[in-house]
Amino acid sequence: MSANREKYQEFATLLEELCDYTTFAGLDASQLRQRVNLAQQFFRDQIVPLTVEGPQDQSYRTEISKQLRLLEVDVMFFKGARQSSTAQARLIIIGDRLKTLIRYCEAVLGS
């Protein structure tokens, strides 16, 4: 497995763990934000510097970057939710965004 693929696999695993955390009953908004920040940092430090291997690679990186920024906004909205129903709706959105990010990683790994 190339170094690029290893890093994308690590990133996908990190995102899957984050996705699992969003279903945890004792979810803490500050902890969620911290975990999202770690995922963003991993992307910046480990994925962005990698050599572009294929024609779609740069497109996926751009899309992942955009989705990570949107995830950060989703977490801010979740943290600011005052009602339980709003918080639950935000968690669903966060989970969907994480699944999208995981699919992008799988697409890179599959190419």
pLDDT tens column, 72-83:
999 999 999 999
Place of tokens 């990570």: 68
CATH code for the domain of 56: 1.20.1440
- Using one digit for the tens of pLDDT, what is the confidence trace for 28-86? 899 999 999 999 999 999 999 988 877 788 899 999 999 999 999 999 999 999 999 99
Query: Which CB contacts under 8 angstroms, 24+ apart, belong to 78-85?
Result: 78/29, 78/32, 79/29, 79/30, 79/32, 79/33
pLDDT value at 17 more than 90 = yes
Domain that holds residue 40: 3-110
pLDDT class for 87, splitting at 50, 70, 90?
very high
DSSP track, 20-86: HHTT-TT--HHHHHHHHHHHHHHIIIIITTSPP-STTHHHHHHHHHHHHHHHHHHHHHHHH--SHHH
Q: What is the CA radius of gyration of the chain?
A: 14
pLDDT at position 63: 96
pLDDT at position 110: 87
Provide the number of structural domains found in the chain. 1
pLDDT at position 1: 53
